[in-house]
Structure 1
């Protein structure tokens, strides 16, 4: 039998007595106001209670270390949504959390009312690192960027689940809206507070003390009781605003102080064990929506913010007014999207909101009636991906895309201010949470180059802010011929959080990127020249030319210690790109750069001899390195015009142990440099094709190497095509099937146009039309049957000595 089945009328009566004596006795020195976070109804009754009780101090559930920031949060220039961002570091690692406040958060309203009345307000809850230290479950101690207002226990209790079933509500949120947000507006403040207290207390009683201890709730309540007692010694009337789940713990323990709890069960309050910081920061509606993973407070923050706005203006039916507003906005939006929505659809949607409210026993239709009505009136036919637009757009409106503003204050983080200033100068839209695109003409416009540097810098410090969709890829060295970049960016409070984390590197984006880059350089082994050259290139892309200049000597030193061919080729690739695109990267003429490029080239060429014994998984990057060296060796630049590279190519081709794929590359390069006749490509291919079985199986790898450098060796030479046809004809069926993947890989080097040309040449080889080769392949069963018939006919001819 569960606990709920044992609850009696006497138990509920006892809670009423406790409420009258300890919670809402306006003649006492302490009044408790239980809330649900971000609830407009709680804000509405809180203001009425403050007017009636006229407290001398207001205590609020919030992290104690946030008390110095209360003035910032309550400042007229601060526009919610905002949050306190709390970080701490300890021996086991780092953690962080948010304490969000919306315009309709009771905690925020309490702060504003305190400032309005000139009375003190104070946060009384544990800081997050104390809360984390008392969690018993390992997964809780590793919670990253959690919320200190977590309502998981309240929303998930057995009492709430049973109540949802009894009242035909689909979720705790729908139940809360029906009973408190809509129904609560018609109640007196005393009745409303009593209902919140009773519901939350019955939910709390579904959990054993061990669960509350493991979640940290008991430790938090103990600290809050201490702060309440301190306030009572200083003030005659104290109002305590906390989550409804904690109110019973505060008043029950206040009557009978807890005794006998083992000290090991309390959080460690000793100073000096952790380093923690707390900052005021802008927050966003999407992040405050619990349906997006945020585990506390009301969903649909924009919707309930609109309700609170109308409550503040004294409107009698705020939910109906919001429904009219949103239906009108949704209709206009859908029409812009070419959805077939009429005025009669909108009228029908509003009528359905009212009818559903009456059917479900509500004074007004809330967000769930609005969503059901929109689904019924605006979605034509079955709901599917094709008809989802009305529901999707309404969801965006309910959540909203607002970004808050924090008043300037002595606690601001310089790097965050620099970020906002740089975004303002670049006209980047960070006032909303939508995704935005910027197309930059890198070579034609200096302003676009500076914006590209800003994006590169932010992508380095805060990877989630901006993403390059197209344009030259300097890291992978792809699409380098493109002259435009397309970036997509989006703001969220997590961007600001990541900037705060990077504030230890410097007070501006440039300073932080510089110091972080230099720190990374120190962690790179001093012989990894490729990584160092990439960091140098990265510095230039971020507009840190001074930093890049300081890296010259480090890169040179690494080049002289580096003995790895691939690493040296990486250095050469990066340094040569820097030399080629000096204007774009903002470089002035520096004689050290050509010297570095020449030194990287010479060192890479000197390591060619070691390639004959390279591992097969390194062949692809080796091929790219050889292509780069051959391109430079064939350039008119005199610093690459020596014969050392050609000599090493000859040495490699004379090595019998050279892998087939690298042999194909080397012979193609040598023939391209006119050191060897092109016929040698065919001759070496014939040696594979007509060689021993083991050598024959290496043919596809050899061709991959050839085609990686010299596709025209196959496009215009009939002899190589004939040899490949011979190979296909001679291979047993099973071996041919086994070679097909490697052969296909070899032909991926050809463009579609070149494939069409090859098709015509193959068709000519077999004296058929090219389009016949595009005919569908035979069914495998038909092919097997034909092969069986062919074999039977062959045997019959042999029996009659006809062949």
Structure 2
């Protein structure tokens, strides 16, 4: 029996048309498709009547960790057309690739990631030959914009060239498995159509000639928990500009190409871009619109296209609508996500080409247990609506509702946003405000979260347990575990944190861990971890390590590092509030801080923080340690104010600081001003006003200190203006023109 091998590019309208035409002509008995063979018994789920795009989401969770994979389909995916047209023609339709959990997909989150991206030498050579920027533009020129006649032959030649002679072992394993399906279908009788990525076509033709002709068995799962479910997908998730290495970028444009053809798709893209720009209050005239159409058509003719392609249209739009210089390459001339800083008009062009299409599953689609569990819990606690929710964490019911919402937040389910609430264990706030809103992304997020666990508590536990191993990430996960009400996980994370602090290299991250552990240990009776022994071990070890790291930091002037300043504050708080209970001796801490404060090789912000620690521990250092120099003064003060804000207000240090600032030249003051402003941000408004009153009084001036703090003009601009005036005065004096 005949076997027709169709090598396609995933998500290509031209390839999808070729598949439909071939099935209509051949009338096959079997249609074999590159896709997860373990889903064959559930193909009827794909045909329930969904709105595309959608994806088969597969996961496997075991002792070695979790593995997740997506097999996406849109209306113009050749695999989807093979499935639907094959079924309509009466063929037996099967997926023939290995399951997503198989080791052949170990480094691939998406089954249909382009193989040719891994074999760029051939595609680069073709791009140079055809004078195009990248493989997507090359594909449009050779396939989407080319006549349909001879397409199968051109595809075969292209993919044979891309494949070359060297193939990765994981690809070979997949191809051997798929070839057995082909041999079995041929043996079963009737014409066979095989639809796979073009990269595999040549190998399958060879491998299908001889070998076992029995129907393959689906490999058994290696154990653990796993499953596959349909999830709604979107054009945004399919787009290469969003980071998905799909067969085609700009899915919204290709959707229109599939539905209405190239000429109308080009016109629709131009109109969509103009509509988006006008909606952003960007002026686009009728003349601009005519120019964009004219330029797109001219580029198409110059490049040998019957109708404008995607890049013809986008290049024409840029020429007509963007008058500014561009700081980076146009995104469609390369591959990958849209980079920050792109021109606003270019951003809208990319968004219009992406489209806003979103899939919807049929109501009868099977769902993982997590969805029903979450829906039930939300309804039971009155959280299944929209709007503002205010919770009292001292109330048992409020605490239960808070924990449920935090678990949803942790696993990344959209529509649950906390507006206000405690940000650390030391935060006295015992209320939370949440905004609940419906989101089209909630269903796919919950289905995908099922890979982490069958219940919300299990999913949140798995998510937090997989946190990075650095102490900062572990500290954040520990606090989230407390908010989620997961005591066993809190103990586990506390043990990991205790092990990690001894090897910490980053003082800022270590300080974050110390602050979180100390806050929970001191205050969190709300979350049930106050006085926890494991947290006590973390605090003791982190305090010792922080002291060691602080003494080892050296370097010249640099912007104040708030992370390391906060670490010194956390060290001080550990001595103050846990020293007696945990045996942390204050004396060596203060002595080390005094050494750092006097060490001119230490960064200014760290020296200021060390002096502030001494003052706040009733061991004042002589104000003579205040450094001179515009480049370091502000950073030194940032450290000091962060640690000894109240002591500074009480001590006689303000006159000394005032004199230092007053002695700065205009130029030096401009240099120091940004850091000085940052330093004084450590004072709340009332205390800044108190400082302003004292400074006015010291100069014998009257007036409103509050008004002094609320200038309508940026103080930095005022300082620059004063410096400019001084410079002009000096120049006039030197030239004898000032009288």
Q: CA RMSD in A?
A: 5.8
Deviation at residue 337 of structure 1 after TM alignment: 1.2
Deviation at residue 342 of structure 1 after TM alignment: 1.5
User: 1:356 pairs with 290, 299, 310, which one?
Assistant: 299
C-alpha change, 1:269 and 1:662, in structure 2 (3 Å) is same
Preserved contact between residue 613 and residue 657 of structure 1 (Cα < 8 Å): no
Deviation at residue 533 of structure 1 after TM alignment: 9.8
Preserved contact between residue 240 and residue 246 of structure 2 (Cα < 8 Å): yes
C-alpha change, 1:420 and 1:764, in structure 2 (3 Å) is same
User: 1:345 pairs with 288, 292, 297, which one?
Assistant: 288
For 2:254, the equivalent position in structure 1 comes to 304
Deviation at residue 107 of structure 1 after TM alignment: 0.6
User: 1:538 pairs with 439, 459, 483, which one?
Assistant: 483
C-alpha change, 1:700 and 1:535, in structure 2 (3 Å) is closer
SS of aligned partner of 2:156? helix
For 1:99, the equivalent position in structure 2 comes to 71
For 2:650, the equivalent position in structure 1 comes to 713
Preserved contact between residue 590 and residue 614 of structure 2 (Cα < 8 Å): no
For 2:94, the equivalent position in structure 1 comes to 122
Instruction: Provide the rounded CA distance (Å) in 2 between the counterparts of 1:49 and 1:222.
Output: 24
Deviation at residue 327 of structure 1 after TM alignment: 2.1
C-alpha change, 1:197 and 1:535, in structure 2 (3 Å) is closer
Preserved contact between residue 285 and residue 302 of structure 1 (Cα < 8 Å): yes
**What does 1:379-528 correspond to in 2, within 5 Å?**
379-383=322-326, 388-407=343-362, 412-416=367-371, 455-462=405-412, 465=414, 471-475=420-424, 477=426, 480=429, 484=433, 491=441, 495-496=445-446, 498-503=448-453, 506=454, 508-509=455-456, 512-513=459-460
Instruction: Provide the rounded CA distance (Å) in 2 between the counterparts of 1:386 and 1:702.
Output: 33
Instruction: Provide the rounded CA distance (Å) in 2 between the counterparts of 1:612 and 1:48.
Output: 73
Q: Structure 2, unaligned stretches of length 5 or more? A: 328-339, 467-474, 495-512, 551-566, 595-608, 626-635, 663-673, 709-714, 728-739
Deviation at residue 37 of structure 1 after TM alignment: 1.0
C-alpha change, 1:769 and 1:627, in structure 2 (3 Å) is farther
For 1:247, the equivalent position in structure 2 comes to 201
SS of aligned partner of 2:361? coil
For 2:228, the equivalent position in structure 1 comes to 278
Q: Deviations over 1:719-754 (max 9, x none)?
A: 66578899999xxxxxxxxxxx99999976434664
Instruction: Provide the rounded CA distance (Å) in 2 between the counterparts of 1:239 and 1:169.
Output: 33
Preserved contact between residue 419 and residue 434 of structure 2 (Cα < 8 Å): yes
Deviation at residue 245 of structure 1 after TM alignment: 2.0
Instruction: Provide the rounded CA distance (Å) in 2 between the counterparts of 1:710 and 1:270.
Output: 70
For 1:197, the equivalent position in structure 2 comes to 156
Indicate the larger mover: 56-65 or 744-753. 744-753
Question: How high is the TM-score relative to the length of structure 2?
Answer: 0.66
Instruction: Provide the rounded CA distance (Å) in 2 between the counterparts of 1:550 and 1:151.
Output: 40
Instruction: Provide the rounded CA distance (Å) in 1 between the counterparts of 2:152 and 2:638.
Output: 78
User: 2:144 pairs with 155, 177, 181, which one?
Assistant: 181
Preserved contact between residue 403 and residue 483 of structure 2 (Cα < 8 Å): no
Preserved contact between residue 183 and residue 211 of structure 2 (Cα < 8 Å): no
Instruction: Provide the rounded CA distance (Å) in 2 between the counterparts of 1:174 and 1:112.
Output: 29
Instruction: Provide the rounded CA distance (Å) in 1 between the counterparts of 2:80 and 2:433.
Output: 46
SS of aligned partner of 2:145? helix
Instruction: Provide the rounded CA distance (Å) in 2 between the counterparts of 1:450 and 1:69.
Output: 38
Deviation at residue 163 of structure 1 after TM alignment: 3.3
Preserved contact between residue 72 and residue 407 of structure 1 (Cα < 8 Å): no
Q: Deviations over 1:390-440 (max 9, x none)?
A: 3211211211233323345675312145557889997899xxxxxxxx876
**Structure possessing the higher radius of gyration over alpha carbons:** 1
Deviation at residue 73 of structure 1 after TM alignment: 1.6
Deviation at residue 105 of structure 1 after TM alignment: 0.5
Q: Structure 1, unaligned stretches of length 5 or more? A: 1-27, 133-140, 259-267, 311-317, 430-437, 521-529, 541-546, 556-563, 580-592, 631-643, 670-680, 692-698, 730-740, 783-803
Instruction: Provide the rounded CA distance (Å) in 2 between the counterparts of 1:327 and 1:71.
Output: 39
Instruction: Provide the rounded CA distance (Å) in 1 between the counterparts of 2:218 and 2:298.
Output: 55
C-alpha change, 1:143 and 1:724, in structure 2 (3 Å) is same
Deviation at residue 354 of structure 1 after TM alignment: 2.1
Deviation at residue 443 of structure 1 after TM alignment: 7.2
Q: Deviations over 1:126-178 (max 9, x none)?
A: 3345452xxxxxxxx852524344332587242x4333333332222112212
User: How many pairs are equivalent?
Assistant: 611
For 1:620, the equivalent position in structure 2 comes to 569
Deviation at residue 220 of structure 1 after TM alignment: 2.3
Instruction: Provide the rounded CA distance (Å) in 2 between the counterparts of 1:49 and 1:394.
Output: 35
Instruction: Provide the rounded CA distance (Å) in 2 between the counterparts of 1:292 and 1:701.
Output: 40
Preserved contact between residue 151 and residue 295 of structure 1 (Cα < 8 Å): no
Instruction: Provide the rounded CA distance (Å) in 2 between the counterparts of 1:485 and 1:233.
Output: 62
Deviation at residue 662 of structure 1 after TM alignment: 10
C-alpha change, 1:512 and 1:226, in structure 2 (3 Å) is closer
Deviation at residue 112 of structure 1 after TM alignment: 0.9
User: 2:116 pairs with 152, 159, 165, which one?
Assistant: 152
Deviation at residue 300 of structure 1 after TM alignment: 1.2
